[in-house]
Structure 1
Amino acid sequence: MSDTPLIVPHDTPPLQQALAALQQRMAAACQRSGRDPASVRLLAVSKTVAAPVIAQAWMAGQIDFGENYVQEALEKQSLWPHIRPHDGDSARPDPVWHLIGPLQSNKTAVVARQFAWVHSVDRLKIAQRLSDQRPEGLPPLNVCVQVNVQGEIGKSGVPLAEAQALCAAIALLPRLRLRGLMVIPDPDRGASATRAAFEALAALRDRLVASGLQGLDTLSMGMSGDLEDAIAAGSTCVRVGTALFGARTAPPAG
């Protein structure tokens, strides 16, 4: 694959153009790092994005959607059966919903029922509640442990020094599947600090694997402005909103 700009027909809808351009960015970053583009998942961050727009992205081939606010996500999920485009392609899977924002204890039950992934687990209490409340008829809930790599005061994420013990405890919970780690670096610290945070998360994953933890196939790191650095550091899931959907409106409560 080359870095030649992707030629998109002028009559292609804007969202499809954005998705194609984003996919090319990811593929080019993978090529520079000697990685298979299929090894990096695109998670479309759809917070504040209207459900019909999510449906357009789904029609363009996007499957994974990340939401920050539980109530907003539940409203979109409830609308999906009514707005799902009926294009005759019954083989296309429905959206896979990921929670990527902070999770409060009083919302774990509905999240355990309605989501396929939670990227923001940072306390054993939350993990235990998710495991206890995951319905038996569903597969284990995929989770990532959010790590506060940079030690930011008041920010979500388990401290780096405590992450290995938390991961080991979560891996024992019966209705969860520990998939990996997530980080959100502070952009105000600059690009070099962001790259260092990505590298620290990858190194932590390597230590966890060396300790005997199995199935850690996910590094959830990288967003619109830094996905190339994240992919270079080993990201397997980039969380992209602005580059796909445009600038955000004010977030809702919940």
Structure 2
Amino acid sequence: MSEYDEAMQLQPGDTPATRHGAFSESWMIGNAVNGGVVMASGLTALGQHLSHDPAETTHHVDPVVVSAYFMTASLPGAFTVASEVMRTGRLLSTGQLSVFQDVDGQQVERMRAIASFGNLDEVDASRQSTPPDLPPPDECLSSEQAPPEFLAHSSFLDRVDLRLDPATAGWAVGKPSMQGQIRGWLRLRDHREPDTTLLAWALDAFPPVAFDLGLYGWTPTLEFTGHIRRRPAPGWLRVALSTENYAGGMLEEDARIWDSAGNLVAQSRQLCGVRPLRTTP
């Protein structure tokens, strides 16, 4: 079983609306569990709830849109997802979910989201954005080449195969382009093929685009809106991040993902806080 699938394993709770799981230290970035893992776990729970809902008769198995708020950082250990089916329709079914962890006997909410599920098995795109030109993965910079001190605080990188376009990776050696762009390739290190829930994780799997502005430090996600556009073809995912605005200690991060066939399969915008350790001019 893929390490990603192990991370997504959930046990039924006392009611159809609850699921239990555990976050592993293997998916940490710094002192917190990667937000994409938290979001994918919540979506997995809501998808399971929808699949057992008597009103759900159209087999809506793919997350199509999700809007998530991250209240507190998730830590390794047990968690509970509480979900609610809000509406079932012909094209989409919508529900809400919250991820909780017990902290000293108190249930602390980590993330709250509303998401709609549909069926993306047949999608005809009449117009879509063109994937960026990138060097082949073997000519890009691997996450394994990151400084040892960076890898020591990011066990998450041991789970993923990340290859950055050298043109947007200068920040890794203290020479950010100041253009606010990061591009590259992504897949799981054990080559587990992508699906629509994994795409939600992939939208938050790259290094923060703030790094390319010379802002090194913690960039917590405050709000995230993601759209899953179609089921991805097997193989590498091509990812492009960008930002145009940084003010008041916050910036937006726009992400787009194309599959190995060149199809746009996911896109998102998130509002991030910026807590820089240092700034490079």
What range describes the TM-score normalised by the shorter chain of this pair? under 0.3
Higher relative contact order (CA 8 A, sep 6+): 1
* Greater share of residues in strand: 2
The TM-score with structure 1 as length reference comes to: 0.26
